[in-house]
Structure 1
Amino acid sequence: MRYSFVIPVYNRPDEVRELLESLTHQELFDFEIVIIEDGSSVSSEAIVESYRGSFPALRYIAVPNGGPSRARNLGAREATGEYLIIL
């Protein structure tokens, strides 16, 4: 994997859908997507799962709320790409 998109989310399923839909229009697919759900009361898991067929390297990790820094750091640890992009 060349690029890793790390996407920490908290109660934003509509924005997750928009972001994943936008990424389907990319011509270069040498990337993974790591979504960290940071203790949301409104889960994005079903939305993420609906895009699994579009992105073979899509991962969803749900954790108890620890704040945005903890979610970003976890995503960075889980990422496998040469370049890290935090959205």
Structure 2
Amino acid sequence: MELENPLITIIIPIYNREQTLERCLCSVLRQTYSHLEIIAVDDGSTDHSRVILDKYQKKDSRLRVVRKENSGVSESRNLGLQLARGEYIQFVDADDWITRDATETLLKAMQTGSEMVITDYYRVIGRKIWIKGHIPASSLMSRAEFARYMMKSPANFYYGVTWNKFYRMDIIRDNALFFSRELDWCEDFKFNLEYLKYVSNIRVETRPIYYY
């Protein structure tokens, strides 16, 4: 039975992002869905990211700042997962931002009977913005249907990244899923492939909610 107001954990890995961090944090803290736990993992930043994080942590008790020595984005995400108390997991990168209703949209999509949500996203280059996706229509599909689409373009960011997806924490915890510390790239794609092994249905939303 789905809870009406579940806690959602948003994990933000950060390393030297003083130029974009405030924009990211503001977009997360201003979500229309407010029952959030925001875990910002500072991966040993040497710029003013630390100062910005301290300022926002004082403003909003939902923001939890965790600091560690620099060891990479996989370790940061894994630490966030270890500390997460939410029923659902959302990832946001510190140089990106999300629409005001991003989390609410993801939650509603998940509650249609799915175990993962994937959305289109905005690709931002300077002042130009494109909508990016791959599956043409919003729908609830089986893992086999989803895999057929993915095999047409497996290298597409749409499938590989974590930030346009929504995850169930019980699936991550029960199957001891984590980001590989050995990989310098595609660690997120590997995580997604591992997660997909344990799901039956995926909700596709063609409405973009993330600015990359």
Same fold (TM over 0.5): yes
Shift of 1:33: 0.7
2:19 to 7, 14, 37: 14
1:50 aligns with 2:55: yes
* Bigger mean CA offset, 9-18 vs 67-76: 9-18
Whole-angstrom CA distance in 2 between matches of 1:23 and 1:78? 18
Q: Retained in 1: the 8 A contact 2:13–2:73?
A: yes
Shift of 1:43: 4.0
Within a 5 Å distance, the mapping from 1:29-44 to structure 2 comes to 29-44=34-49
Structure 1 residues 17 and 7, CA, compared in 2 at 3 Å: closer, same or farther? same
Whole-angstrom CA distance in 2 between matches of 1:39 and 1:53? 20
What amino acid maps onto 2:25 in structure 1?
L
1:64 aligns with 2:64: no
The sequence identity of aligned pairs, in percent, is 33
Q: Retained in 1: the 8 A contact 2:12–2:39?
A: yes
User: CA-to-partner distance for each residue in 1:26-65, whole Å, 9 max, x for gaps?
Assistant: 2221111100011111142221222235422211111001
Whole-angstrom CA distance in 2 between matches of 1:84 and 1:53? 23
CA RMSD, 1 decimal: 1.6
Partner of 2:20: helix, strand, or coil?
helix
1:26 aligns with 2:31: yes
Whole-angstrom CA distance in 2 between matches of 1:43 and 1:36? 14
Report 1 or 2 for greater relative contact order, CA contacts < 8 Å, sequence distance ≥ 6. Answer: 1
Counterpart in the other structure of 2:89: 84
Task: Return 5+ residue gaps in structure 2 as ranges.
Answer: 1-5, 93-212
Bigger Cα Rg: 2
Q: Retained in 2: the 8 A contact 1:9–1:38?
A: yes
Partner of 1:52: helix, strand, or coil?
helix
The structure 1 segments of at least 4 consecutive aligned residues displaced by more than 4 Å after TM superposition are none
Whole-angstrom CA distance in 1 between matches of 2:70 and 2:44? 4
Would you say how many aligned residue pairs link Structure 1 and Structure 2?
87
TM-score by length of 2: 0.38
Structure 1 residues 6 and 24, CA, compared in 2 at 3 Å: closer, same or farther? closer
Whole-angstrom CA distance in 1 between matches of 2:11 and 2:30? 18
What amino acid maps onto 1:38 in structure 2?
D
